[in-house]
Structure 1
């Protein structure tokens, strides 16, 4: 299945700009029953039990790797993190950056193009100012994704837009 295309509210011209995507993956949890529950929730499309991240595909005549940016607990598989999340307590978070060879083929939506050509540098600058105390429901991967996408493309509340279009 090819990457799903989301039609953003603004003008999504790519041209020489970087393509910006949002991807969803299962939440990480401790091995055993907790991880089984998270995988099942992802399979059932339970939107609130998915981890969201931002991908930037540089525009270039030669293929280049895709950069992934996300925000998650420092140790997402620890039992302490799970308890803190359930109690809605703040836990240490980390902003991560890594490379992928290609844009994922499932649960990945193109949401537009960056406002500027140096989107990766913009994302790194954004990450340097992101508060890393994670609190599920008020300062988590959804909020990070929404704010980074808005910073890069101008699209607002992208996770909610995707949810409405995905469920519809």
Structure 2
């Protein structure tokens, strides 16, 4: 119930935002970016869908901001090896398996839009994410084993919170009061 309240409140939770509770804990975020597609009409379509906020036509990833004074955050995501390949897109659209890859990159700062704080990891979040990613099957099947499943699984592994994207979609689609 407290998890649902975290996403339904327009005000930050005082429990989760105090420095005392955050000390020594890595902050976990979920971010959304436009799907990558082959150049041309397909790319224009997914960019438009992203701009309009079409939830299922976004690429999701997990960002970990270590509690150490380390200046950078780390992004973990799962995507096709070549997301801009036309044949990969066709196969993915028809629920075919495509070769995927788990990526880890660094960021200088946390994005300000389409990025949601979802909790804290009690132990080294980057190490936990590395271990989780090593065991993740890289056979991508859209709708069955894709970036959404990876994001939900990694967030649950880091924070214990289940189905985080479902909660975020309900919150992000909710009209302001």
Distance 1:47 1:122 in 2: 27
Q: Secondary structure at the match of 2:6?
A: coil
How far did residue 8 of structure 1 move? Answer: 5.5
What is aligned with 1:32? 40
Q: Deviations over 1:2-25 (max 9, x none)?
A: xxxx9269x744221000000000
What is aligned with 1:75? 82
What is aligned with 2:138? 132
Distance 1:14 1:153 in 2: 13
Q: How many residues align?
A: 160
Moved over 6 A (4+): none
Q: Secondary structure at the match of 2:90?
A: helix
Q: Deviations over 1:93-119 (max 9, x none)?
A: 000000010000100000000021x11
Judge conservation of contact 2:95–2:141 (CA < 8 Å) in 1: yes
Q: Computing the radius of gyration over CA atoms, which structure comes out larger, 1 or 2?
A: 2
What is aligned with 1:92? 99
Distance 1:65 1:41 in 2: 30
Q: Deviations over 1:15-71 (max 9, x none)?
A: 2100000000000001111110010000010000000000000112x3520100000
RMSD between superposed Cα atoms in Å: 1.5
TM-score by length of 2: 0.87
TM-score by length of 1: 0.91
2:164 alignment partner, one of 149, 154, 158: 158
Spell out the pairing of 1:107-122 with structure 2 (5 A cutoff).
107-116=114-123, 118-122=124-128
Q: Is residue 2:151 matched to residue 1:145? A: yes
Distance 2:7 2:135 in 1: 26
What is aligned with 2:66? 58
Alignment gaps of 5+ in structure 1: 1-5
Alignment gaps of 5+ in structure 2: 9-14
